[in-house]
């Protein structure tokens, strides 16, 4: 194995140092942003920016619909449907659902992975800062930012932010835009079955449509009933 020269060793140390500095700066920015989001509604997210770049690179039409509204203006049915579909233990965990993580790990070992284990808080952090990319570095940053989001924002604000920024279709972000586009109504007026169909498309918003989600929406409605909603 060839020995590195002093120049190569110095270059390697410099690269590692700048990588660490970069990660610290990114983490610091994300932390300050989370603190500000306690009071300020986000004008955009990493996912929004990613979709704009993809449209620009591929020269495809892109029309963005994004309107932030208070949680009080989002139907309780839609709030409950999303929790039932995405994170049934949302009010029991502190950012990571270790019970679901264990089940997902066991399914992976058996080659029968049928569901994810990401919580609403994890998905919010990913949407805000990391987009749809997957990497070990992203997971590491997420592992530190998720507990901070839980501590700084609280459950109500986390749910409000998530429902407003999450992707619900090509260029469709947030509950108000989704309800207007798919059902022609405001988020405050969406009904129980409509809410279940909208929640059913969240795992794959660029592929699924509410009118084709009867099977999944039925499962969500049943889960809502089991949870007392």
Is the Cβ–Cβ distance between 226 and 111 less than 8 Å?
no
Is the Cβ–Cβ distance between 99 and 89 less than 8 Å?
yes
Write out pLDDT tens, residues 68-117. 999 999 999 999 999 999 999 999 998 888 777 667 555 544 444 344 56
Q: What is the pLDDT of residue 90?
A: 95
How far apart, in Å, are the Cα atoms of 55 and each of 42, 102, 127, 133? 21, 37, 18, 16
Q: What is the pLDDT of residue 104?
A: 56
Is the Cβ–Cβ distance between 85 and 223 less than 8 Å?
yes
Main-chain dihedrals φ then ψ at residue 173, nearest 5 degrees: -125, 130
Strand residue runs (E) in the chain: 65-66, 167-169, 172-173
Q: Helix, strand, or coil here: 63?
A: coil
Query: Tens-of-pLDDT digits for all 229 residues of the chain?
Result: 556 677 667 777 888 777 777 767 777 777 888 999 999 999 999 999 999 999 999 999 999 999 999 999 999 999 999 999 999 999 999 888 877 766 755 554 444 434 456 899 999 999 999 888 877 767 777 888 999 999 999 999 999 999 999 999 999 999 999 999 999 999 999 999 999 999 999 999 999 988 888 899 999 999 999 998 7
- Residue 217 token pair: 């929406």
Is the Cβ–Cβ distance between 198 and 191 less than 8 Å?
no
Task: Please give, one letter per residue, the 3-state secondary structure of 198-214.
Answer: HHHCCCCCCCCCHHHCH
| Angle between helical axes of 192-200 and 76-86 (0-180°, round to 10) | 40
Q: What is the pLDDT of residue 46?
A: 94
Q: Helix, strand, or coil here: 42?
A: coil
Q: Helix, strand, or coil here: 69?
A: coil
Q: What is the pLDDT of residue 112?
A: 45
Q: What is the pLDDT of residue 114?
A: 42
**Structural domains of the chain, with CATH:** 11-226 (1.10.3810.10)
């Amino acid at each position: 194995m060839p020995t590195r020269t002093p120049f190569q060793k110095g270059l390697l140390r410099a690269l590692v140092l700048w990588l660490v500095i970069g990660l610290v700066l990114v983490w610091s920015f994300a932390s300050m942003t989370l603190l500000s989001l306690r009071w300020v509604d986000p004008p955009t997210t990493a996912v929004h920016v990613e979709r704009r770049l993809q449209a620009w690179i591929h020269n495809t039409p892109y029309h963005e619909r994004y309107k932030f509204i208070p949680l009080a203006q989002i139907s309780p049915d839609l709030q409950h449907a999303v929790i039932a579909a995405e994170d049934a233990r949302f009010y029991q965990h502190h950012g990571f659902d270790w019970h679901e993580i264990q089940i997902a790990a066991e399914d992976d070992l058996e080659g029968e992975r049928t569901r994810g284990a990401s919580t609403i808080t994890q998905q919010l952090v990913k949407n805000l800062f990391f987009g749809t990319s997957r990497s070990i570095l992203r997971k590491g940053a997420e592992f530190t930012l998720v507990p901070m989001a839980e501590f700084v924002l609280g459950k109500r604000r986390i749910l409000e932010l998530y429902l407003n920024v999450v992707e619900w279709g090509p260029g469709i972000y947030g509950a108000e835009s989704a309800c207007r586009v798919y059902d022609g109504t405001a988020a405050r007026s969406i009904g129980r079955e409509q809410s279940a169909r909208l929640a059913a498309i969240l795992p794959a918003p660029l592929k699924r449509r509410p009118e084709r989600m009867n099977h999944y929406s039925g499962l969500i409605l049943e889960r809502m009933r089991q949870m007392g909603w």
